[in-house]
Amino acid sequence: MTEESRTLYEVIGGEPTIRAMVDRFYDLMELEPEFQLLRSVHGPSLENANQRLFMFLSGWMGGPDLYQQAHGHPRLRMRHMPFAIGSQERDQWLRCMAWAMEDVGIDTELRVRLMNSFFQTADWMRNKPD
């Protein structure tokens, strides 16, 4: 099977890599002061958000569509409307994810590809003026 015919889920390393990436993302959000604003949007516990992001990314990358099976269509923008998301929150989310991907060893070319997609989605999620 060529690299081009594999899903992103397969290329990234499947469930173990996505789980490690999401866990590291939320660890960084909890621990690093530079993500304080982003962390404040999430409420007291990150457990639910962690599981939902893992489930979403699994399906989004071409693996098991866990999120849709459990919660229906993602409707990302609608589901994020209760949270004030501006450019600062977007940028912190992207920085946190970039750091997490680097920490779990995702290669540079794949990180760039993912960050381009993540930026488009994160920018679309903004719902408050800067």
* Domain CATH number, residue 42: 1.10.490.10
In-domain check, residue 2? no
- Residue 77 belongs to what domain range? 8-125
pTM of the model: 0.92
- Whether the Cβ atoms of residue 62 and residue 9 lie closer than 8 Å to each other: yes
What is the C-alpha to C-alpha distance for residues 42 and 44, in angstroms, rounded to an integer?
7
Structure tokens belonging to residue 37? 């604003």
In-domain check, residue 1? no
In-domain check, residue 94? yes
**Residue tagged 């949270």 (tokens):** 83
**For 104-127, what is each residue's pLDDT tens digit?**
999 999 999 999 999 999 999 999
In-domain check, residue 3? no
**For 63-98, what is each residue's pLDDT tens digit?**
999 999 888 888 888 888 888 899 999 999 999 999
- Please count the structural domains in the chain: 1
What is the C-alpha to C-alpha distance for residues 92 and 36, in angstroms, rounded to an integer?
9
In-domain check, residue 40? yes
| Axis-axis angle for helices 87-103, 108-124 (nearest 10) | 160
